Amino acid sequence: MTAKPPFIPPPHFTLHPTNLPLPPTTPPPKMKILTTNYLTCALRACKSHPSSFPLHFRDAELQQDSLPFNAAFIANILPRIDWPALLTTATELGFTGLPAEKPDLLATAEMEADEGVGRELHRILLETQVVEGKLVCGNCGHEYAIHQGIANFLLPGHLV
Amino acid sequence: MLPTPTTSHLSFDHIYEPSEDSFLLLDTLTLQSPFLHTRFPPTSPPLVLELGSGSGVVTSFLTTHSATLFGHSSITTLSTDISPHAPNATNQTVAANITKESGCFLGAIRTDLATGLRSGVVDMLVFNPPYVPTEVVEDGNGEEGWIGVACGGGIDGMEVTVRVLKGLKEYLSERGVAYILLCERNKPEFVAEQLRNGEYGVKWIVKKVGTSGKKGGWEVLGIWRVMRW
């Protein structure tokens, strides 16, 4: 009986560099504040109730990053934003630099200026992430936990 | 074709590993880019929602390649998944692939489909459902754990998808578009006809925009685009 020939891996067996486990280049992203512009209470009965939007932050732990200013993004996203809701959320989190009324579409040059609404929006919308805390419904008081930047909207069995 | 996001940092014990269905979705979305350019210009950027994001390969793809797919980087993306493992996996995959030119990823949320989202805010919805016909829709406690939840769709493999189709009129904005994957055993032509004739509350415009082609007549996958106008 002859011994098995040594196994020579065919070319496609070569471990391609992209298949090697690599550590992520940046830490995992966490919930952005703008997310609350799109969230409401998971309870169907609350959904039509005005006080269920926006949900209110409680015990929020924020992470502040430094990112290059993106004037185009701010200008483009602005029309989409529910301003009163963002204002409420921002104020609850201690950001007091936003005007009461949604500003007009700002010229890019104007936004590039060091101070002003554009920079404040950039700080709130892009540079701030929510790491821990709770989102609370203003109608029923239900609390949705945020842990490691991930909000959990699964309801306990008796509420589904 | 645009590069597929790397998921090599993940282990696939509890997460569905990107497979033929995921890649068909990515290829189809790439081919949809002229349509997406027109529908979602930078002056009115879309909120993109992926239901059941799993590994996050699709959400990462849309976020990372926003400039090519939409013609600008002002899109915002959001993902949901019912699995306790998926939101973190999605976050990791976004982190591993994101670039300076990417769109804005708002976060991964643990929830059942779109529960907790406001009505009418989603401009683009993407869903690779649990579409394999099974006896029951699992809850994570079955033999296959959360992989079973990601794959098993109950009767005709449609039980979860039907819930999404019923919810579309609530989730989607007026200009909203949904991309949903169906396999042959989901009876896609019949489902499309139901959507068109108003059985899901709205007379949807439905078009098959991607297909994996015939494979010995078995497990043909299609991507279906659903919208109001």
Residue B4: inside a domain: no
- For residues B178, B209, B15 and B82, what is the CA-based torsion angle, rounded to 10 degrees? 20
Supply B118's token pair: 């406001």
Q: What does the pLDDT read at residue B218? A: 63
- Evaluate if residue A18 carries a pLDDT over 50: no
Residue A12 has pLDDT above 70, yes or no: no
Q: Could you give the CA distance from residue B60 to residue B65 in angstroms, rounded to a whole number?
A: 8
**What interface predicted TM-score (ipTM) does this complex get?**
0.95
Higher pLDDT, A117 or B81: B81
- Give φ, ψ of B79 to 5 degrees: -135, 150
Predicted TM-score (pTM) of the model is 0.92
In a domain, B38, yes or no: yes
Furthest-apart CA atoms within chain B: distance in Å: 48
**Backbone φ and ψ of B175, nearest 5°:** -95, 10
Quick one: average pLDDT of B169-198? 97
Q: Which residue in B74, B68, B70, B67 sits closest to B106, CA to CA? A: B74
- Residue B161's contacts (CB-CB under 8 Å, 6 or more residues apart) are B127, B129, B131, B153, B180, B182, B186, B191
Rounded mean pLDDT of chain A?
85
| B203: three-class secondary structure by DSSP | coil
Q: Does residue B191 lie within any of the structural domains?
A: yes
* Domains assigned to chain A: 28-153 (2.20.25.10)
Residue B11 domain-assigned (yes or no): no
B13 in a structural domain = no
Is B2 within the bounds of a domain? no
Side chain identity at residue B157, one-letter code:
G
Domain span at residue B183 reads 20-228
B177 φ/ψ angles, rounded to the nearest 5 degrees: -130, 135
Task: Give chain A positions within 8 Å (CB) of B104.
Answer: 32, 34, 73, 77, 125-126
Tell me the pLDDT band of A104, cut-offs 50, 70 and 90: confident
Å between A3 CA and nearest CA of chain B: 36
| Contact yes or no for B220/B212 (Cβ under 8 A) | yes
Cα dist. B66→A70, A98, A139, B82 in Å?
15, 28, 37, 26
Distances (CA, A) of B52 to B85, B89, B128, B202: 11, 12, 7, 24
For residue B101, the chain A residue with the least C-alpha distance is: A70
Check residue A19 and give its pLDDT. 43
Does pLDDT of A160 surpass 90?
A: no
Instruction: Find the chain A residues whose C-beta atoms sit closer than 8 A to any C-beta of B.
Output: 18-32, 34-35, 38-42, 47, 53, 68, 70, 72-73, 76-77, 79-80, 125-126, 144, 148-155
Q: Judge: B88–A28 Cβ closer than 8 Å, yes or no.
A: yes
Count up the domains in chain B and report the number: 1
Three-class secondary structure of residue B145 per DSSP: helix
Angle at the Cα of B130 from the Cα atoms of B225 and B123, rounded to 5 degrees: 35
Q: Is the pLDDT of residue B104 over 50?
A: yes
Going by DSSP bridges, is the β-strand pair A128-136/B47-51 parallel, antiparallel, or unpaired?
Answer: unpaired
How many percent of chain A have pLDDT more than 90?
64
**What's the CA gap between A142 and A41, in Å, rounded?**
8
Q: What is the CATH number of the domain that holds B82?
A: 3.40.50.150
Read off the tokens for B148. Answer: 């079973």
Task: Report whether A154 contacts A135 (CB < 8 A).
Answer: no
**pLDDT classification of A15: cutoffs 50, 70, 90:** very low
- The closest alpha carbon to A22, from B6, B59, B15, B102, belongs to B6
**Cα dihedral sign, A47-A48-A49-A51:** positive
Integer Cα distance of B73 and B65 in angstroms: 8
Residue B183 pairs in a beta bridge with B221
Cβ contacts (< 8 Å) between A80 and chain B: which residues? 44-45, 47
| Structural domain contains residue B181 | yes
* Nearest residue to B162 (alpha-carbon basis) of B171, B170, B154: B154
Q: How far is A115 from chain B (nearest CA, A)?
A: 22
Residue A117 is encoded by which pair of tokens?
A: 């609404």
Write down the number of H helices and E strands in chain A.
5, 5
Q: What is the pLDDT of residues B117-175, one digit of tens each?
A: 999 999 999 999 999 999 999 999 999 999 999 999 999 999 999 999 999 999 999 99
Identify which of B204, B164, B165, B156 has the alpha carbon closest to the alpha carbon of residue B183.
B156
Average pLDDT, integer, range A122-146 = 97
CB contact under 8 A, B91 and A29: yes
Q: Is residue B14 part of a domain?
A: no
The tokens for A104 are: 């007009």
